[in-house]
Amino acid sequence: METKEDQDIKRIMMEKDEIDLSYIINKINRLFTYIGRGLVNFKLFIFRNTKLISLISLMGVLVGYFAFENTKPYYTSSMTLVLADFRNQFVEDHLNKISLLVKDDNYEALSERLKIPIEEAQQIKKMSFSNLDEARISEDSVLTGSPFRIELMLYNKGLFDDMEESITEYLESNRYFSKQKRIRQRELEGLIGKYKQDIASIDSVKIAVANLRGPANGFVYGEPLDPTNLYKESVNMYQQQAHLESELERLENVQVVVGFAPQSKPAWPILPIFLAAGALAGFIIALIVAQMFDSKKKIKV
């Protein structure tokens, strides 16, 4: 059973909560009233200075258009490459050197590395690259043979095809990559030559078997000879030879999966953004100027 003292405490607490709640509601009402009055005053301010604000905002739009016309456009495209069994870090180091040359405007060195005219090197605005599978491996793992993307920004949209070839050849001409390619090429050529010799030997045996007189099966080194097995072995070896020849044709350390796409519109500048930025800047300046005029009028009065 509650005592009178407990009841008095509850009553005081309820009255306190009601006071706190009414205080908060009053503050919120005052805030909305203040905002409403501010909006009304702002509308009146705009109405009084409509001509001035419109004129300066229009000048801002014109300045934005002038800035757009005098901004050098550039085009952006990307290509995807896939590596042979090399660590991606090796390719990253080489591409990073090119990126630094572009950043430092070292067009002579850039022209020498990519084997392009210096005029074309000057058309490169920026180059960046990223590994496509980097997020799929753990931090302590080594990324090997993974595809990566190169993003290129050019002032001349007609140079993407030339840049694709130049960047690929730059990576292929690496001394380490070239050495590994030559080793693998000699290995494949040797295996293909061996398969050709073996196939020629089997073909000669097939001819000899076909010319045998008497029983259907002959003997080689005292072993029975089945022509069916000879044909099967010949087909199998020919398939292996064809596989190696196709691998030899594709023997590249860097292969282009998706090349640079032709661009018709620049990535920058964008006219609506320049116009909107000019209009916004003009509007803000117009408000400041109009406020200054209003303040002078009040002082004179």
The per-residue pLDDT for 202 is 78
Determine the Cα–Cα distance for residues 260 and 241; give it in Å rounded to an integer: 34
Please state the domain extents for the chain. Answer: 50-72+268-281, 75-175, 177-251
Q: What pTM was computed for the model?
A: 0.69
Only one residue has tokens 């009084």, namely 48
Determine the Cα–Cα distance for residues 14 and 21; give it in Å rounded to an integer: 11
Backbone angles phi, psi at 251, to 5 degrees: -75, 85
CATH 3.30.70 fits 75-175, yes or no: no
pLDDT tens string, the chain, 301 residues long: the values are 556 555 555 555 555 555 566 767 777 888 888 888 888 888 888 898 999 999 999 999 999 999 999 999 999 999 998 877 667 777 888 889 999 999 999 999 999 999 999 999 999 999 998 887 765 655 555 556 678 899 999 999 999 999 999 999 998 887 777 777 777 778 878 888 888 888 888 777 767 666 655 454 454 444 555 667 777 877 888 888 888 777 767 667 788 889 999 888 999 999 999 999 999 999 999 999 998 887 777 666 5
Query: How far is the CA of 136 from the CAs of 3, 210, 262, in angstroms?
Result: 69, 58, 30
Q: Which of 35, 124, 60, 89 is nearest to 279 (CA)?
A: 60
